[in-house]
Amino acid sequence: MSSKLTDTPTVTEHCEHCGRETVHAVAVELRTEGSDPETAAFSREPYRVATCEACGHTTARRMNDA
């Protein structure tokens, strides 16, 4: 078992912090919306989180953009 764990998907897109196109590592996170613990468990939304590999700036975008 010597498989490399280098399967993090990356994309090249504009980084507003760098002001240019950079490589971003992309991950999907479930984020809880709202501060009410009663409903928080039912309001988790998937976010696409892109981290700039040049400056570390992260950009989270809600995937279910209704």
What is the closest distance, in whole angstroms, from the C-beta atom of residue 47 to Zn ion in the complex?
Answer: 18
**25 versus 32: smaller Cβ distance to Zn ion:** 25
Cα 3 to Cα 32: distance, rounded to the nearest angstrom: 33
The reply on whether position 57 binds Zn ion by CB under 5 A is: yes
Contact yes or no for 51/32 (Cβ under 8 A) = no
Question: Which residues 11-30 are close enough to bind Zn ion by CB under 5 A?
Answer: 15, 17-18, 22
The reply on whether position 50 binds Zn ion by CB under 5 A is: no
- Give just the sign of the alpha carbon dihedral 21, 27, 30, 32: negative
Q: How many residues bind Zn ion (CB under 5 A)?
A: 8
